[in-house]
Amino acid sequence: MRAIVTTRNGDVGALKIEERPDPVPSKGQLLIRVKASGLNFADILARQGLYPDGPPKPCVMGYEVAGIVEAAGDETDRALIGKSVIAMTRFGGQAELVVAPITQILEKPEILSFEQGAAIPTNYLTAWALLERRVRIDS
């Protein structure tokens, strides 16, 4: 599979498209064919070496994706294969394929495009959490 690899800390010149081995889902994980990958503050700061939770380089960034389930690991519902989903990936999402735990995946509503779905996990959930916890809006 192809992936956008962050080769070092730096500007966009640190990004390279490389071939990587296809990931294989483990117990409790799904393999997702990525249709859209989010790009958020954490990805950018991690590329620059300024995000404390960023993975060591070289790495594939990407905290959020939307795509189609291609395979399921052991003890994972195989009925999800072929379904459109949104996932929080915590790295690895800027690739053609990614695995994610079933606990971090939800079915994508049909009214959302893949691009809209990929923006939900980090961008919109961060905004919602801020409003819910800091401003204390009623749900």
Q: Which residue is listed with tokens 């923006």?
A: 119
Confidence check: pLDDT of 138 > 70: no
- Quick: pLDDT tens for 14-33: 999 999 999 999 999 999 99
Q: What is the dihedral of CA 23, 6, 47, 108, to 10 degrees?
A: -30
The superfamily (CATH) of domain 2-135 is Medium-chain alcohol dehydrogenases, catalytic domain (3.90.180.10)
Written as one letter, the residue type at 43 is D
Helix spans in 1-139 (H): 41-48, 114-119, 125-130
pLDDT of res. 121: 84
Domain ranges of the chain: 2-135
Strands (E) located in the chain: 2-6, 15-19, 29-37, 59-60, 64-72, 84-88, 97-101, 105-107
- Quick: pLDDT tens for 36-59: 999 888 899 999 999 998 999 999
- Quick: pLDDT tens for 64-115: 999 999 999 999 989 999 999 999 998 999 999 999 999 999 999 999 999 9
